[in-house]
Amino acid sequence: MFLLNKKKKTSGDKHIDQLANIVGPNEILYKKEDLLSYDCDGFVIEKALPKAVVFPKNTEEVASLVKYCSANQLPFLARGAGTGLSGGAIPLNEEVIISLVKMKKLISVDYENRQAVVQPGFVNLKLTNSISDKGYYYAPDPSSQYVCTIGGNVAENAGGAHCLKYGVTTNHILGLEVVLPNGEIIEISENGVPDSPGYDLLGLLTGSEGTLGIVTKITVRILKNPQGKQTVLAYFDDIEDGSHAVSDIVSAGIVPAALEMMDKVAIEGVEAGSFPVGHPKDIEALLLIEVDGISAGIEEQIDEILKVCHKRNVREVKVAQSEEERGAWWANRKTGFGAMGAISPDYLVQDGVIPRSTLPKVLSNISEISQEYGLRIANIFHAGDGNLHPLILFDARVPGETEKALKAGTACLKACADVGGSITGEHGVGIEKKEEMRFIFSDEELDAQTQIREVFNPENLLNQGKLFPTPSRCMDVKKIVKDTVAH
């Protein structure tokens, strides 16, 4: 990796030298060529170089780094795997990036009390892999779970395909160790006691997008594997029929573990990607539905789902016949975002949430937005909980097309807000959607939230310019939002 000029043992920058003293000379990057990989996260539209990237190995080092930055007025931010899709880890203000990837231990597992303690850089899927031989798993399963960290999941309150029945990250967090922006270390925990007195700091920290503190240890709930599981794939000729089937399944009293949808453009993408499974290309929509729980009840639920699909004119519906088949369907779905690269040079993923019953209307609005902006939009999303992911396909090499994609994205979020929905379900606000916060919050409500940030982060050195509306440094997002709404 590194680094400091061996002869002089100094970088020529006093802050870099002091930060290197804290973590060790092999745990810091500061040369431009090394910093390039850290100029953005999964939101690749805005880019900026950090001052340095440091790799602490324990909480004490994180606290010392934070104290140093705070004492020297150096802006800083935390980074996990950098898969965030809203720009939360982009160093817009030449931040010192505190990368948690070297704090990646599974500290302990307590099967009796069904909990595990991990360091923040522990990769999501590794937790399930580490406990599956004992019949346990960790429920929140973002599609990026092969690489994203549990620290990043806490910061974004990550969701996933199987969060419909089991809840998103916040429902699985039992305790956090956090380094506050002044370098103090605090522990917040339920201590095994539900509804403990005082403010719900666990709830506040989870989903705060790295603006209130740096999470250095996490206690999570682990679950026993369900006794049985069945997966259904349903193909529809009419997207409205598929959308109505989603509401009908839930209205029938079934809570599937997962209820995912893809439209025609998304199917074209996943079939051109690395995990094709032979979905027909002429269908308008598919549903991937999974039920799990006590084996005895599963057949009954599957029968009910098949009935709903037939009532909604399904073209073909099938139940997975083996674990391999089920695995292939899920690999096809979970690699869906990346697969868009097979049909478009660039894509922008949006993350609106809507009441389930408005799905047909909002999908039709998105189709109108696609026509209006002349850009194809693929929809691949967690339909069961109304969490839409319109993927706007564009070519950044064509002048003006990036801005058009951003406008189309804003218009999709406005369509979600207009039916009583929200602008993010799981990817966070970051820098990408901070102006769109105005679609769902009044000035007073935004003030109340920024005041909370000021209590934790009074000097605003930690992850500046994220989450709440402010003028953007790199592009006039505010203007884009204004123009789009006026349009």
Ligand X SMILES: Cc1cc2nc3c(=O)[nH]c(=O)nc-3n(C[C@H](O)[C@H](O)[C@H](O)COP(=O)(O)OP(=O)(O)OC[C@H]3O[C@@H](n4cnc5c(N)ncnc54)[C@H](O)[C@@H]3O)c2cc1C
Per CB under 6 A, does 85 bind ligand X? Answer: yes
Taking phi over 0 as left and psi of -120 to 50 as alpha, with beta for the rest, 124 belongs to alpha
Per CB under 6 A, does 362 bind ligand X? Answer: no
Q: Which is nearer to ligand X, 85 or 283 (CB)?
A: 85
Candidates 142-150, 231-239, 271-279, 307-315; binding stretch for ligand X (CB under 6 A): 142-150
Q: Which is nearer to ligand X, 153 or 301 (CB)?
A: 153
Task: Report the alpha-carbon angle 247-248-252, nearest 5.
Answer: 120
Which pair of tokens denotes residue 433? 């959607």
For residue 125, the minimal CB distance to ligand X (Å) is: 12
For residue 217, the minimal CB distance to ligand X (Å) is: 9
Phi, psi values for residue 418, rounded to 5°: -65, -20
Per CB under 6 A, does 465 bind ligand X? Answer: no
Instruction: For residues 452 and 439, give the distance between their C-alpha atoms in angstroms, rounded to a whole number.
Output: 20
Per CB under 6 A, does 378 bind ligand X? Answer: no
Binding-site size, ligand X (CB under 6 A): 37
Per CB under 6 A, does 181 bind ligand X? Answer: no
Interface with ligand X (CB under 6 A), residue from 95, 177, 209, 271: 209
Angle between helical axes of 401-418 and 477-486 (0-180°, round to 10) = 60
Q: Which is nearer to ligand X, 258 or 314 (CB)?
A: 258
Mapping DSSP to helix (H, G, I), strand (E, B) and coil, where does residue 417 land?
helix
- Give the number of other Cβ atoms within 10 Å of residue 237's Cβ: 15
Per CB under 6 A, does 56 bind ligand X? Answer: no
Per CB under 6 A, does 100 bind ligand X? Answer: yes
For residue 155, the minimal CB distance to ligand X (Å) is: 3
Helices (H), 374-459: 401-418, 443-456
Pairing of the two strands 223-224 and 106-110: unpaired
Per CB under 6 A, does 358 bind ligand X? Answer: no
For residue 368, the minimal CB distance to ligand X (Å) is: 26
279 and 339 in contact (C-beta within 8 Å)? no
Which pair of tokens denotes residue 131? 């406990």
For residue 434, the minimal CB distance to ligand X (Å) is: 12
Q: Which is nearer to ligand X, 309 or 339 (CB)?
A: 339
Q: How would you label 364-380 residue by residue, b for 16+ Cβ within 10 Å and e otherwise?
A: ebbeebbeebebbbbbb
Taking CB under 6 A as the rule, which mask of x and - marks residues 379-418 in contact with ligand X? Answer: ----------------------------------------
- Give the number of other Cβ atoms within 10 Å of residue 241's Cβ: 20
Instruction: For residues 59 and 103, give the distance between their C-alpha atoms in angstroms, rounded to a whole number.
Output: 9
Q: Which is nearer to ligand X, 241 or 385 (CB)?
A: 385
Per CB under 6 A, does 453 bind ligand X? Answer: no
Interface with ligand X (CB under 6 A), residue from 158, 249, 343, 362: 158
Residue with tokens 């009910």: 304
Cα torsion 296, 300, 305, 306 to 10°: value is 120
Instruction: List contacts with ligand X (CB under 6 A).
Output: 41-42, 77-85, 88-89, 100, 120, 142-144, 148-149, 151-153, 155-156, 158-160, 209-210, 214-215, 337-338, 426-427, 463
